[in-house]
Amino acid sequence: MALPASGSISLSQVNAELGVASTTAISLNQTTARTLAGKASGVISLSDFYGKSNVSANTEILLHFDGSHGATTFVDSAGKFTPAAGGASTCYISTAQSKFGGSSLYTSSHGLGLSGGATSFSNYTGNYTIEFWVYDMSSANASVSRYMTYGPYDASIRSAGRIYHSYNFQWNSSYWAYNSTYTTTATTYNAWTHIAHVRNGSTVTLYKNGASIGTYTFTGPIDLTGLTIGCGNLSQQGVGEYFVGYIDEFRFSSTARYTANFTLPTAAFT
């Protein structure tokens, strides 16, 4: 998504490009606005935003989770998907914790679903990077904390804090049958942790805070049109495998952004 290259530009359009609600108070002198306009100092006007985009190449989903506490309006800054909360009382913008921007997504039982997107993302087989910051409050007291599902696949934090990638889910009369790959390195509870799932060719590497913690082979397609962030409850089983905590700066990229250990991001994603 990019701002118009000519004609009129409104402050609400600038807000949308910055990934915040259109009604958010904004000053063109604020750092985020000047960065978008590419004008660090001097007089700034709306014409300086012509054609500007706050989204980098290969970014297909970008959720900053910026907004006021309790808000249930979410913006995909890449402009390709429409996020919607599963339950307003259990999935909303929170200012209680934040990695960047002063707020994040809080979820305790109902996740944030995404709809829309190009049909190419319903059967995506290319390289990808799924990354975000997570503040997990649930797994210390629960057997499973499911922080993401997409199609028949899920990513979760399970016993002993290990990060799992599970696939080929099938309900087998009285239990879920599935295949899993997991890491032996545990996540950290009640603290911000950067997690990245990166597919490069047929190899997926899991990264925790910039360091590889395991690899596995995975060539199957993924369905981004069925993506849910912060989710749980395998309903047939009647067991709540809910993620309780905060997620910030969620980005899906159609490229392998990391192919080796990397330095952690120090600012919001683009």
Distance between CA 254 and CA 117 in Å, rounded?
13
Q: Is the pLDDT of residue 52 over 80?
A: no
pLDDT given at position 237: 47
Q: Name residue, tokens 């990391």.
A: 258
Q: Is the pLDDT of residue 137 over 50?
A: yes
Q: Name residue, tokens 């049958």.
A: 177
What mean pLDDT is reported for the chain?
A: 76
More confident call, 24 vs 192 = 192
| Helix, strand, coil share of the chain (percent; to 5) | 10, 40, 50
Residue 175, in any domain of the structure: yes
Q: Do 156 and 189 lie in a common domain?
A: yes
Specify the DSSP element, H or E, that contains 14. Answer: helix 11-18
Q: Do 125 and 25 lie in a common domain?
A: no
Q: Do 36 and 143 lie in a common domain?
A: no
Residue 54, in any domain of the structure: no
* Segment 177-188 mean pLDDT: 57
Residues whose CB falls within 8 Å of the CB of residue 90, separated by 6 or more in sequence, listed in order: 107, 108, 109, 110
Q: Do 220 and 178 lie in a common domain?
A: yes
Q: Are 128 and 148 in contact (CB under 8 A)?
A: no
Q: Do 188 and 116 lie in a common domain?
A: yes
Q: Do 174 and 71 lie in a common domain?
A: yes
Q: What is the DSSP letter of 111?
A: -
Distance between CA 137 and CA 30 in Å, rounded?
33
Residue 248, in any domain of the structure: yes
Instruction: Count how many residues are written for the chain.
Output: 270
Q: Is the pLDDT of residue 193 over 90?
A: no
Specify the CATH number for the domain of residue 208: 2.60.120.200
Q: Do 100 and 43 lie in a common domain?
A: no
* Segment 186-203 mean pLDDT: 85
β-bridge partners, 81:
116
pLDDT given at position 179: 53
Lowest mean pLDDT among 132-136, 241-245, 246-250: 241-245
Q: Tens of pLDDT along 109-126?
A: 666 766 666 556 777 889
pLDDT given at position 177: 44
* Segment 64-76 mean pLDDT: 88
Residue 203, in any domain of the structure: yes
Instruction: Determine the residue type at 210.
Output: G
Distance between CA 72 and CA 249 in Å, rounded?
16
Q: What is the DSSP letter of 63?
A: E
β-bridge partners, 157:
145, 163
Work out how many domains the chain is built from and give that number: 2
Q: Do 69 and 195 lie in a common domain?
A: yes
Q: Is the pLDDT of residue 210 over 90?
A: yes
Q: How many CA atoms lie within 13 A of 81 on its CB side?
A: 26
Q: Do 154 and 39 lie in a common domain?
A: no
Q: Are 147 and 157 in contact (CB under 8 A)?
A: yes
Q: Do 76 and 140 lie in a common domain?
A: yes
Longest dimension (CA), the chain: 67
Residue 262, in any domain of the structure: no
> What range does the domain containing 238 cover?
59-253
Q: How many CA atoms lie within 13 A of 244 on its CB side?
A: 13
pLDDT given at position 169: 44
In 10 A of CB 63, how many CB atoms?
26
pLDDT given at position 175: 43
Residue 32, in any domain of the structure: yes
Q: Do 71 and 111 lie in a common domain?
A: yes
Residue 258, in any domain of the structure: no
Classify residue 168 as exposed, middle or buried by CB count within 10 Å of its CB (0-12, 13-18, 19+). Answer: exposed
Q: Are 223 and 150 in contact (CB under 8 A)?
A: yes
Q: Do 111 and 15 lie in a common domain?
A: no
